[in-house]
Amino acid sequence: MARLLFTSRNFGSLADPSPHQNLAQLTKLIGKPIQIMNQVHGNQVVVVNEPTQVPEADGLVTANKDLALAVRVADCLPLLMYSENVVAAVHVGRKGLVNKVSRYAFDQMKALGAGQIRAVVGPHICASCYEVGPELYAQISKSNPATAVKVNYLDLYAGLVEQLPEVGLSNLHLCTKELPDYFSHRASGELGRQVGVISL
């Protein structure tokens, strides 16, 4: 059974993907090495079998029970996917949604022998708060129709549900912009990041 958690502002920021005190503290809490990534809003998904240098990616997948995976976010969706024998941590923003990074992670999990896949989405900006310009709204809603909840507002979670119909998705319904317990670039322009962590 997978173990997962999401940090809040109270834990401190993990904006820097390089090793530092907060990451060391989180590693101690988890009780196993944590693999993080340098996220670039792309669709690269990396399978990791053991702790390695920080890869440039927006998704990590492992079947190693002695390794935890982490995704760093402020307003984007921290997607933690799991089956009985494979887990994934995925960074899904609007670019990641368009680039179908979640589908790449799903395919990598299946390639490693994952059976039924479930997933949890942690704190992220909600549809009522994610306002974008008309051109961007038209672009995203055209490629991902479910995101179009009202004019110039995007529902990234609905887009993710549309993109992963075979995955049992759960949403914690915690908006980073509305709740001061979480870092939010939209709310304050700050660079802090909370993380989602998952392991077998």
Cβ distance 72 to 195 under 8 Å? Answer: yes
Answer whether residue 19 shows pLDDT above 70.
no
Q: Cα separations (Å) of 21 from 28, 64, 176?
A: 11, 24, 24
Domains (range + CATH), the chain: 3-125+166-199 (3.60.140.10)
Residue 191 has what pLDDT?
Answer: 80
Q: Are strands 87-92 and 59-62 parallel, antiparallel or unpaired?
A: antiparallel
For range 22-31, the mean pLDDT = 94
pLDDT band at 6 (very low <50, low <70, confident <90, very high): very high
**Each residue's pLDDT tens digit, 42-65:** 999 999 999 999 999 999 999 999
4 three-class SS: strand
Q: What is the four-CA torsion angle of 173, 88, 131, 158, rounded to 10 degrees? A: -60
Q: Given a cut of 90, is residue 149 above it in pLDDT?
A: no
Between residues 191 and 125, the one the model is more confident about: 125
**In whole angstroms, what is the distance from residue 18 CA to residue 26 CA?**
13
Handedness of CA 140, 69, 16, 23 (dihedral sign): positive
174-178, 185-189, 195-199: range with lowest mean pLDDT:
185-189
**Residues 35, 158: Cα–Cα separation, whole Å:** 28
The per-residue pLDDT for range 50-104, each reduced to its tens digit, is 999 999 999 999 999 999 999 999 999 999 999 999 999 999 999 999 999 999 9
